[in-house]
Structure 1
């Protein structure tokens, strides 16, 4: 379906992590970490080196695909605009959770998605420290796969009442006027946390350890892989206005839950924008 061998792409993420990311973990030198848009928006030598390696190999295995990497877009913002009109694209986040990585915290990942005719058709989240992948192709289910070839089919948690829900909410990019109310509303659920890393949060969700994920800022490299994996694991995924989340969307918020009823309850009682 993807036109790109998903296992080849998955192994490429692993190779980039082993060559460029893990050797730099907790070993970044002076000048290896820089701020981009603000003090908490960081880029490291690992991000840039890993993306270069992945980009060059994608150009070899999928020369007809647009490559959209987080650091490539930072250098050329117009690249993001091309995603909406392209036939086929590979979207990559070389180090998701850069703030954690730069801080020496082991909560980061490498992510990729394949978009075909405006639709996400494959998603991969690789965990460099655990050395395994979350992988989904549209219509084929979602799986945890290991280098030895073993795999486990993923499934989201069973729905629970609002007061028992455990999940992750990224509140840093909420509208200033709405943020106090939503933070207060989060008292209605059992737990609300944030790992500052979508790769880790989607893993918890599709493993059945969370009942919701909420994000307000939508960059394709952060959410295209995870939303497809979540949907293939049985999740209900929609923007906060109820519309479908598409690769071209960068705003409108996102809410991921085990079913539609949980989505409706959270949208009504907690995430009232």
Structure 2
């Protein structure tokens, strides 16, 4: 599936923005360069804002017909998010995913973009500024690790294992308060649970076959559209908690990703019991 957006050019734009506006600020932020948004751990930095400003300007030049939906643009203009559902073509960007890590000097953050065509995610890109490589997918074309020298490696999810052997990531902070205790207790049924505080690296880790599940409750398009497509193209079973497909306009309903449908159903039944 194609659109007017050249995915290779978009991937290069993410890299150029990271090298110009993000990496030079890593571990060099002043107190005035970091601010809280909705809560103390929901941060925005000069790197987020300047990188998104660059990507927005370049996107407007390269793809003037595309709606640009960036995390910081929506923070400034919330109504922008409502336009995504009906947009014929959109580019959705998270300039720094894992801002808390970035602001804390932890090298686990990424730059993400997805392309949405008529309400469907058709391309996803996750760039790692520290490793200087991309994980990316176009719908129907598989998931790939790509490097600037042209090297490419096809990605595949892990083989399914029994529930008590599953290792994965779960973001539990946004779960309904009345369900948190039970779900946290249920997580004792799996082998291991982690949280990188960075969906970019969690999706990359899953798509490369290193873990067996990802779970998110809060859904913002810049956090999960790219990664969900990449995981799906790597062979994953991806669905909201009610079993329906995850679409760009969905902001709730949770997201569960597993190597296959049987693993997904086991996790949903035994662990993530909402």
TM-score, normalization by structure 2: 0.99
Q: Which runs of 5+ in 2 are unaligned?
A: none
Distance (Å, rounded) in 2 between the aligned partners of 1:134 and 1:100: 20
The equivalent residue for 1:131 is 132
Indicate the RMSD between aligned Cα atoms, in angstroms.
0.4
Q: 1:197-239 CA deviation, whole Å, 9 max, x = no partner?
A: 0001001101100000000000000000000000000000000
Deviation at 1:185, TM superposition (A): 0.1
> When the two structures are aligned, how many residues end up with a matched partner?
273
1:2–1:122: 8 Å Cα contact kept in structure 2? no
Query: Which of structure 1's runs of 4+ aligned residues deviate more than 3 A?
Result: none
The equivalent residue for 2:192 is 191
SS at match of 1:265: helix
Distance (Å, rounded) in 1 between the aligned partners of 2:3 and 2:104: 36
Deviation at 1:30, TM superposition (A): 1.8
The equivalent residue for 1:259 is 260
Q: 1:119-159 CA deviation, whole Å, 9 max, x = no partner?
A: 00000000000000001000011100000000000000000
Superposition pairs of residues 147-226 of structure 1, within 5 angstroms: 147-226=148-227
Deviation at 1:256, TM superposition (A): 0.3
The equivalent residue for 1:270 is 271
1:157–1:210: 8 Å Cα contact kept in structure 2? yes
Q: 1:24-63 CA deviation, whole Å, 9 max, x = no partner?
A: 0000012100000000100000000000000000001110
Distance (Å, rounded) in 1 between the aligned partners of 2:188 and 2:156: 27
Deviation at 1:3, TM superposition (A): 1.8
Superposition pairs of residues 55-204 of structure 1, within 5 angstroms: 55-204=56-205
Distance (Å, rounded) in 2 between the aligned partners of 1:32 and 1:2: 37
SS at match of 2:93: strand
1:115–1:122: 8 Å Cα contact kept in structure 2? yes
Distance (Å, rounded) in 1 between the aligned partners of 2:129 and 2:269: 37
Q: 1:173-198 CA deviation, whole Å, 9 max, x = no partner?
A: 00000000000000000000100000
1:123–1:225: 8 Å Cα contact kept in structure 2? yes
Superposition pairs of residues 27-46 of structure 1, within 5 angstroms: 27-46=28-47
Q: Which runs of 5+ in 1 are unaligned?
A: none
Deviation at 1:2, TM superposition (A): 2.6
Distance (Å, rounded) in 2 between the aligned partners of 1:226 and 1:58: 20
The equivalent residue for 2:21 is 20
Distance (Å, rounded) in 1 between the aligned partners of 2:118 and 2:24: 37
